[in-house]
C-alpha cells in the first residue's frame, strides 16, 4: 500500500494528466509566481494556486491563459486536493496560514462530519513544504498543525525571483516521511535545474544566517546611509567603478524587493541576530580606530591597520597560507561593465597627505568600511564563508564575498583602503552615516519588531525608488556574468579534485 497520496512519485510532465501529481502553491508573491511559472513551463498539468481572497480576481485574469495553472479562492481546496503543497508565505505569518489550511478536522467534528469540516484538511499522505527563508517557525507550524499522516519535505530556493534558478542551490529538507516523499519532491522540482542541497531544518537556519545576515546588513546600511545624506553618490562621481559597482547595484537590488524577504531571516533567526549585532559592532569599532589613527600617533595608525589585517588573515589566510583557489572576482574590469556612474576622479585626492604616498589608481580610494566590517565580524564570530560557498551560497553572498576577497588578497588595494581610511576626509561623513545606519538596523532587529523594520526599509526604498529600474536591470546582468564564471570555476575545481 502506497504511503503517498499519488501512486507513482516519479511521474513526470510527460505522463498523462491523471498520473501526474497535483501541485499546490499557497501564497502567490514573487517566489510563488516564479514557482508557478517554472512548473507550468516544464509541462506540469495540475498546478493549483491561491493567495488571499482579495487577490483572487486578479490572479484569475493573470493566469487565464497559463497552461496547467488553476486559481482557487483560498488555501482550503488547494490543501485538500494537492499531492505536494508549498506554503510560500512570510515566516512571520506561516503559523497562522498553516493553522488555517493545514489541520485535519478535530475529533468532535469527525463524529459529526460535513463537507465543510473536511474542506480544510490537508490531503491524506500529501507532502508539504515551505518557502520561508527562516525555517524554525515553519517547522514549528508544520509539527503543530499538520496531521501525522502528512509528510514534511521542505525546500528553499536560495536566490531571488528575478534570478534564473538554473545551477542555483535549492535546499531540500526531509523532515518527516518515507523515501518516496523525497523522490516526489525531487522529481517535481527537477525542472528548476537547480543544485540540490540536503540539510536539516537546524542546519538550514545556521547556513542561511552565515551566508545572508551580514551581507544583507551591509547593503541595508549602505542604502540607509545614502537616504540619510539625500544623495546618490555614484551620480556625483563618488564610489564609481570596480568594487563600488557591486555595492551600488546589489544595494539597489535588495531595496527593490519586499521588506519581509529580509525581515524574517533577520528577526526570527537567532543566529542572524547575533551576526547583525556583531556587524554593527565591527563597523563602529573600526570607525573609531579610523578617527583615532587619522588624528593620532603612529601607534594609533598601526592599531587600525593591525585590526583590519587581523580580520583578513583569519578569513583569507596570510602569506603561503592564503586560500589556494581561483578567485571569485577575476578583475575589477568585469564590474566596470555594469557601473551606473561615470569616472570623474583619479587618485586619492587626499585632504591630508601625511602618512606616505599611495600611487594614483583608476578608482578613487575610500575606506571600504562596509567590506572591512564584514570580514571583521566573520573573524570575531569564527565564520568561514568558504565552507558555505559551494554548499548554499546566494548570488549576493557569492559576489560580495568575491569583492571582499579581491580587496583583502590584493596588498596594494588593501594598503590603499587603509591609507584612505586614515587620511582621506572626503568620505568621513559617509562612513559616519553608514555606522549610524548599521547600528540602527541592529537595534531594529534586536527589538524584534516587524513594523519598525518595515518602516526603516520602506523609508529608504522610497528614496531609491527612481533608480530601481536601471539598477536592477544592470545588477541582473552583473550577477549573470558572475555566475557563468563561477560555474566554470567550480567545474574546474571538481576536475582538479578528481585528478588528485
Please give the angle made by the CA atoms of 192, 198 and 204, to the nearest 5 degrees: 100
CATH of the domain at 44: 3.40.50.720
What is the per-residue DSSP string for 455-471? HHHHHHHHHHGGGHHHH
Whether residue 377 is found in the same domain as residue 254:
yes
d(CA 143, CA 152): 9
Whether residue 190 is found in the same domain as residue 234:
no
Give counts: helices (H), strands (E), the chain: 22, 8
Whether residue 295 is found in the same domain as residue 409:
yes
Confidence of residue 336 (pLDDT cuts 50, 70, 90): confident
Confidence of residue 236 (pLDDT cuts 50, 70, 90): confident
Outline where 119-259 has alpha helix (H): 135-145, 179-189, 201-208, 214-229, 243-256
Domain final residue, candidates 199, 228, 256: 199
d(CA 274, CA 381): 9
Whether residue 275 is found in the same domain as residue 128:
no
Residue 363 in any domain: the answer is: yes
Domain final residue, candidates 170, 199, 228: 199
Q: Which of 4-8, 22-26, 112-116, 233-237 has the lowest mean pLDDT?
A: 112-116
Whether residue 195 is found in the same domain as residue 223:
no
In the predicted model, what is the mean pLDDT of the chain?
A: 88
Confidence of residue 493 (pLDDT cuts 50, 70, 90): low
Residue 348 in any domain: the answer is: no
Q: How confident is the model at residue 342, as a pLDDT?
A: 63
d(CA 377, CA 380): 5
d(CA 31, CA 77): 21
**pTM score of the predicted model:** 0.83
Mean pLDDT to the nearest integer, 40-55 = 97
- Of all residues in the chain, what percent carry a pLDDT higher than 90? 69
Domain final residue, candidates 199, 216, 232: 199
Give 410's contacts (C-beta < 8 A, 6+ positions apart).
Answer: none
Number of Cα atoms under 13 Å in the Cβ half of residue 48: 20
Residue 10 in any domain: the answer is: no
Whether residue 176 is found in the same domain as residue 279:
no
Whether residue 407 is found in the same domain as residue 335:
yes
Whether residue 366 is found in the same domain as residue 490:
yes
Residue 349 in any domain: the answer is: no
Q: Tell me: the pLDDT tens digits for 193-231? A: 999 999 999 999 999 999 899 999 999 999 999 999 999
Q: Using DSSP, state whether 322 is helix, strand or coil.
A: coil
d(CA 497, CA 326): 13
Please give the angle made by the CA atoms of 164, 165 and 167, to the nearest 5 degrees: 110
Q: How confident is the model at residue 322, as a pLDDT?
A: 59
Task: Domain count for the chain, please give it.
Answer: 2
User: Does the pLDDT at position 44 exceed 90?
Assistant: yes
Q: How confident is the model at residue 104, as a pLDDT?
A: 61
Q: Which of 29-33, 313-317, 416-420, 491-495 has the lowest mean pLDDT?
A: 491-495
d(CA 199, CA 61): 38
Q: Tell me: the pLDDT tens digits for 129-153? A: 999 999 999 999 999 999 999 999 9
d(CA 271, CA 284): 20
331, burial (CB in 10 Å: exposed 0-12, middle 13-18, buried 19+) = exposed
Whether residue 289 is found in the same domain as residue 221:
yes
73, burial (CB in 10 Å: exposed 0-12, middle 13-18, buried 19+) = middle
Residue 12 in any domain: the answer is: no
For residue 109, CA distances in Å to 80, 95, 99 come to: 16, 22, 16
Give 475's contacts (C-beta < 8 A, 6+ positions apart).
Answer: 249, 250, 252, 253, 338
d(CA 206, CA 211): 9
Whether residue 371 is found in the same domain as residue 330:
yes
- Tell me the CA end-to-end span of the chain in Å, nearest whole number: 47
Residue 444 in any domain: the answer is: yes
Gyration radius of the chain over CA positions: 25
C-alpha cell at 312: 583578513
Would you state the torsion angle of the CA atoms of residues 263, 268, 270, 273, taken in this order, to the nearest 10 degrees? 20
Residue 432 in any domain: the answer is: yes
Whether residue 125 is found in the same domain as residue 105:
yes
> What residue numbers bound the domain in which 99 lies?
17-199
C-alpha cell at 354: 601625511
Order of strands, sheet of 69-71, starting from the edge strand that comes earlier in the sequence = 69-71, 47-50, 23-26, 84-87, 127-130, 151-157, 169-176, 195-198
Q: How confident is the model at residue 267, as a pLDDT?
A: 95
Q: Tell me: the pLDDT tens digits for 54-97? A: 999 999 999 999 999 999 999 999 999 999 999 999 999 999 99
User: Does the pLDDT at position 233 exceed 50?
Assistant: yes
Whether residue 175 is found in the same domain as residue 211:
no
Mean pLDDT to the nearest integer, 23-27 = 98
Residue 2 in any domain: the answer is: no
User: Does the pLDDT at position 109 exceed 60?
Assistant: no
Amino acid at each position: 500500500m502506497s504511503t503517498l497520496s499519488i501512486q507513482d512519485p516519479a511521474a513526470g510532465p510527460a505522463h498523462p494528466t491523471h498520473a501526474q501529481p497535483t501541485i499546490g502553491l499557497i501564497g502567490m508573491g514573487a517566489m510563488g509566481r516564479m514557482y508557478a511559472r517554472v512548473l507550468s513551463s516544464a509541462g506540469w498539468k495540475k498546478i493549483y494556486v491561491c493567495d488571499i481572497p482579495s487577490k483572487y480576481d486578479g490572479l484569475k485574469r493573470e493566469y487565464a491563459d497559463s497552461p496547467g495553472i488553476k486559481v482557487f479562492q483560498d488555501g482550503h481546496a488547494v490543501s485538500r486536493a494537492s499531492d505536494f503543497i508549498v506554503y510560500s508565505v512570510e515566516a512571520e505569518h506561516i503559523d497562522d496560514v498553516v493553522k488555517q489550511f493545514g489541520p485535519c478536522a478535530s475529533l468532535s467534528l469527525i463524529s459529526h462530519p460535513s463537507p465543510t469540516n473536511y474542506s480544510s484538511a490537508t490531503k491524506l499522505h500529501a507532502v508539504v513544504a515551505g518557502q520561508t527563508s527562516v525555517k524554525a517557525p515553519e517547522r514549528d507550524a508544520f509539527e503543530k498543525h499538520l496531521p501525522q499522516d502528512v509528510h514534511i519535505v521542505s525546500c528553499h530556493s536560495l536566490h531571488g525571483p528575478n534570478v534564473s534558478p538554473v545551477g542555483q542551490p535549492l535546499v531540500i529538507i526531509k523532515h518527516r516521511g518515507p523515501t518516496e516523499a523525497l523522490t516526489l519532491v525531487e522529481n517535481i522540482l527537477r525542472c528548476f535545474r537547480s543544485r540540490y542541497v540536503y540539510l536539516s531544518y537546524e542546519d538550514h537556519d545556521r547556513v542561511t544566517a552565515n551566508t545572508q545576515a551580514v551581507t544583507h546588513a551591509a547593503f541595508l546600511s549602505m542604502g540607509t546611509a545614502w537616504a540619510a545624506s539625500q544623495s546618490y553618490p555614484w551620480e556625483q562621481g563618488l564610489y564609481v567603478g570596480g568594487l563600488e559597482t557591486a555595492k551600488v547595484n546589489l544595494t539597489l537590488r535588495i531595496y527593490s524587493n519586499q521588506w519581509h524577504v529580509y525581515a524574517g531571516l533577520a528577526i526570527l533567526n537567532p543566529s542572524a541576530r547575533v551576526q547583525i549585532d556583531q556587524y554593527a559592532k565591527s563597523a563602529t569599532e573600526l570607525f573609531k580606530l579610523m578617527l583615532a589613527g587619522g588624528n593620532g600617533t603612529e601607534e594609533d595608525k598601526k592599531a587600525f591597520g593591525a585590526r583590519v589585517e587581523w580580520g583578513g588573515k583569519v578569513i583569507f589566510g596570510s602569506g603561503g597560507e592564503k586560500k589556494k583557489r581561483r578567485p571569485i572576482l577575476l578583475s575589477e574590469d568585469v564590474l566596470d561593465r555594469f557601473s551606473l556612474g561615470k569616472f570623474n576622479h583619479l587618485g586619492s585626492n587626499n585632504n591630508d597627505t601625511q602618512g606616505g604616498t599611495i600611487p594614483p589608481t583608476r578608482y578613487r580610494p575610500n575606506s571600504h568600511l562596509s567590506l572591512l566590517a564584514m570580514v571583521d565580524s566573520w573573524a570575531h564570530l569564527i565564520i568561514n564563508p568558504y565552507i558555505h560557498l559551494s554548499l548554499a551560497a546566494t548570488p549576493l553572498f557569492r559576489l560580495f564575498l568575491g569583492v571582499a576577497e579581491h580587496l583583502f588578497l590584493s596588498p596594494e588595494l588593501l594598503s590603499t583602503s587603509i591609507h584612505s581610511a586614515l587620511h582621506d576626509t572626503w568620505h568621513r561623513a559617509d562612513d559616519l552615516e553608514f555606522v549610524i545606519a548599521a547600528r540602527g538596523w541592529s537595534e531594529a532587529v534586536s527589538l524584534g519588531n516587524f513594523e519598525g523594520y518595515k518602516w526603516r526599509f520602506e523609508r529608504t526604498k522610497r528614496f531609491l525608488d527612481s533608480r530601481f529600474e536601471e539598477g536592477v536591470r544592470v545588477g541582473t546582468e552583473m550577477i549573470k556574468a558572475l555566475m557563468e564564471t563561477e560555474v566554470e570555476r567550480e567545474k574546474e575545481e571538481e576536475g582538479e579534485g578528481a585528478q588528485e
